[in-house]
């Protein structure tokens, strides 16, 4: 992190106190103003939800927290599971309300591919969006055998997540 920040002309501040924790402040320079440039249009707004319930299955705590926070900011309700087995249990309790399942592909106990198979046996119409941090050899071909509505390559931007969830819910 320090190397990336300094390569971009920034610096990192650190505050630490015993028993109180540590805070890192990251300072990056502002983008330079481009003179003579005028934006004629506003940037595209992020598509927002209408309170749909999404089950997020992700074993990495930081990613799970970040994606859940983003989904909530986009007006979705979110249920969280740390692996496929827990995701399946939660889905079984809420199956009539879950509009979309977003799942990591590689997880302990029950991975995403197995979760997809079991969920599709239970509710064939369930909409599932997969995420992976691993390179997709041959593009989306590795997902062609899974009955899913789409996939996301991690790390995923807020815009990519918002667009993918919108497309998945409309599928």
pLDDT digits (tens, 9 = 90+) for 74-113: 999 999 999 999 999 999 999 999 999 999 999 998 999 9
Q: For residue 85, what are the domain limits?
A: 53-170
What pLDDT does 157 receive? 87
Tell me the whole-structure pTM to 2 decimals.
0.72
Specify whether 98 is located in the same domain as 151.
Answer: yes
Residue 39 lies in a domain: no
What pLDDT does 39 receive? 45
What pLDDT does 12 receive? 76
Residue 74 lies in a domain: yes
Specify whether 22 is located in the same domain as 96.
Answer: no
Specify whether 58 is located in the same domain as 20.
Answer: no
Show the tokens assigned to 122.
């239970």
Residue 41 lies in a domain: no
Exposed/middle/buried for residue 100 (C-beta within 10 Å: 0-12, 13-18, 19+): buried
Report the SS3 class of residue 155: coil
Q: In angstroms, what CA-CA distances link 103 with 54, 57, 120?
A: 10, 5, 14
Specify whether 86 is located in the same domain as 13.
Answer: no
Residue ranges of the chain with per-residue pLDDT less than 50: 33-42, 139-142
What is the count of structural domains for the chain?
2
Alpha-carbon span 40 to 119, nearest angstrom: 46
Element (H, E) at 87: helix 84-94
**Are 131 and 92 contacting, i.e. CB atoms less than 8 angstroms apart?**
no
What pLDDT does 133 receive? 83
């Amino acid at each position: 992190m320090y190397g990336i920040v300094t390569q971009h002309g920034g610096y990192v501040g650190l505050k630490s106190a015993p028993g109180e924790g540590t805070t890192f402040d990251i300072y990056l320079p502002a983008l330079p103003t481009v003179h003579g440039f005028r934006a004629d249009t506003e940037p595209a707004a992020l598509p927002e939800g209408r309170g749909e319930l999404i089950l997020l299955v992700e074993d990495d705590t930081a990613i799970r927290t970040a994606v859940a926070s983003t989904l909530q900011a986009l007006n979705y309700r979110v249920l969280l599971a740390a692996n496929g087995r827990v995701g399946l249990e939660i889905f079984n309790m809420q199956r009539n309300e879950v509009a979309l399942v977003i799942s990591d592909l590689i997880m302990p106990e029950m991975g995403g591919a197995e979760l997809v198979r079991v969920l599709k046996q239970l509710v064939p119409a369930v909409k599932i969006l997969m995420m992976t941090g691993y390179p997709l050899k041959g593009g989306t071909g590795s997902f062609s055998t899974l009955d899913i509505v789409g996939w996301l390559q991690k790390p995923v931007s807020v815009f990519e997540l918002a667009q993918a969830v919108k497309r998945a819910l409309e599928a």
